[in-house]
Structure 1
């Protein structure tokens, strides 16, 4: 699943038409589903109204809600509950929730449990499927196995899985081993060979925005050994996009590939990538992609290949 970047209008609201075209491109490139308004999608910087209107617009455009995971992270628990009810009423697959990035140094395991428990009690729906989101580098609050166990036991059937973006393979494998009944997703794409072999459900990843066919090829490779052979190619592209803040880098690539300069917009406090660094990043990224086998490219297919996915991104 791809943690989708969110294109913006000139007044910094989600550009729903461009977002729909992006999602269509990703599905056409082999992605199984989309996570909306996560960290790559700058979700917590949007208002509740922006996020609910964007979800309604995406579904109205024909995107199946059952292929969507919606991140409902916010600083206010009532806002989280509003976002959750709206998404569940639309029939999305599940919800994704990270602890809020406030009081970073003072939140204990009991506090983390209390946060999730309060959210679940406030939502109070039997159709709730909640995927916990471990990303301590962003929010400063880790999700420990003890907290996950407490939540799973207190709310059986509600906790559907864990997205682990902590970057610690040992921790991801521990989650897979201890919570085999939950869907464990890695947010670290280079760990996919090992985590799939250990029993992970898959990945919810930001890199899929810019290299969905390569991610699909890694997922579909028959063995962990075959998947590991794709890791150097993945690392090559990742190292280029990681020179600058990741959402801005991905958006720069999408703006250049689609001919839509609006893709370059990011929400404050993030900044667009300044020149000449943006040109250098784009030069190196498209050079990296050109060296991939044609079947793995998304922006520069071979002359013989159907270019419909690229055209779809550029249509008026």
Structure 2
């Protein structure tokens, strides 16, 4: 399927496998992208918060995107997060990704200076990036995630940028966790593509014009997310929320990224996938084994078409059930 759908679009904010050198493991990443696309995901967001992108160098992100595209992954199904502190680094990443033909680039305000940043300062930040990218083909998705950046992207900032750079502002990813705010964005900026990072808000917001979700849970429950999003009405979609929430409760026993990577590592029988970048740390082994086993049992309780793990594979140990090689 070329490109991304305009409705019910499921994009995974993919976790990034890293080697002992703390650089992206390109073969593992490419294999996982293919698996997720085969399991019903429409596209992939690279190097976002779940992908530990801000902890990766500009060179590593450039080289890894090149490797992904060279492997035959359609760049029109990729959004690249280009967050960094120096504007010059952001511009380089955005220019490279745009030249590679990706669907768009995702950018939140940097989090180094939280206090005293005004709407005008936020506007100036995005203005400085766009002016330095110097690409008419640039498609910029504004990333509203004040829980991390400490800086909201207000409707006023969106309006100013949209008026200043018509056609360049492609949309917004809202990970603020406020469904009312997301709905306001959808209704006020109906010509833009609005994505939510909050999976629980998808059922109702899709009915208002939400394009879809760029989410972390797609790493570990892609089939459940796909089935939920494909339901014809908000009422039908809401029926899947208790299932999603019960799986998320298991993952929430620890920090999300190490938890998700633990499940992926088990699903591939590949412990290298558990590695995270500092300052994150892997989940202690006993807690990890319980989490993985409980997540496997949760997935096995789902309707067959919603299961993302393989419950027929032989166990790798006496404690943890082996999961799907998707």
What TM-score do you get using the length of structure 2 for normalisation? 0.92
In the TM superposition, 1:188-227 aligns within 5 A as 188-227=198-237
Partners of 1:282 and 1:310 lie apart in 2 by 12
In the TM superposition, 1:229-240 aligns within 5 A as 229-240=239-250
1:124-150 Cα offsets, whole Å, 9 max, x none, are 211000000000111111111111111
Corresponding residue to 1:18 among 3, 7, 28: 28
Partner of 2:195, secondary structure, is strand
Which deviates more, 119-128 or 273-282?
A: 273-282
Q: Is the 8 A contact 1:289 1:300 kept in 2?
A: no
Q: Is the 8 A contact 2:107 2:143 kept in 1?
A: yes
Q: Is the 8 A contact 1:294 1:301 kept in 2?
A: no
Unaligned runs of 5+ in 1: 304-308
In the TM superposition, 1:238-249 aligns within 5 A as 238-249=248-259
- Kindly state the Cα deviation for residue 310 of structure 1 after the two structures are TM-superposed: 3.8
- Kindly state the Cα deviation for residue 166 of structure 1 after the two structures are TM-superposed: 0.4
Matched residue, 1:113: 123
- Kindly state the Cα deviation for residue 106 of structure 1 after the two structures are TM-superposed: 2.1
Corresponding residue to 2:74 among 64, 67, 79: 64
- Kindly state the Cα deviation for residue 302 of structure 1 after the two structures are TM-superposed: 6.7
- Kindly state the Cα deviation for residue 301 of structure 1 after the two structures are TM-superposed: 5.7
Matched residue, 1:31: 41
Q: Is the 8 A contact 2:24 2:60 kept in 1?
A: yes
Matched residue, 1:129: 139
Pair 1:79 & 2:52 matched: no
Pair 1:94 & 2:72 matched: no
Pair 1:175 & 2:185 matched: yes
Partners of 2:200 and 2:310 lie apart in 1 by 23
1:125-180 Cα offsets, whole Å, 9 max, x none, are 11000000000111111111111111111111100000000000100000011000
- Kindly state the Cα deviation for residue 300 of structure 1 after the two structures are TM-superposed: 2.1
Partners of 2:146 and 2:140 lie apart in 1 by 18
Pair 1:259 & 2:262 matched: no
Matched residue, 1:288: 298
Q: Is the 8 A contact 2:17 2:28 kept in 1?
A: yes
What TM-score do you get using the length of structure 1 for normalisation? 0.95
Partners of 2:193 and 2:43 lie apart in 1 by 14
- Kindly state the Cα deviation for residue 30 of structure 1 after the two structures are TM-superposed: 0.5
Partner of 1:104, secondary structure, is coil
- Kindly state the Cα deviation for residue 284 of structure 1 after the two structures are TM-superposed: 1.5
Q: C-alpha root-mean-square deviation of aligned residues, in Å?
A: 1.3
Unaligned runs of 5+ in 2: 1-10, 314-322
Matched residue, 1:52: 62
Partners of 1:301 and 1:295 lie apart in 2 by 13
Corresponding residue to 2:278 among 268, 271, 279: 268
Corresponding residue to 1:160 among 165, 170, 175: 170
Partners of 2:48 and 2:264 lie apart in 1 by 18
Partner of 2:115, secondary structure, is helix
Partner of 1:105, secondary structure, is coil
Partners of 1:250 and 1:199 lie apart in 2 by 29
Partners of 2:120 and 2:279 lie apart in 1 by 31
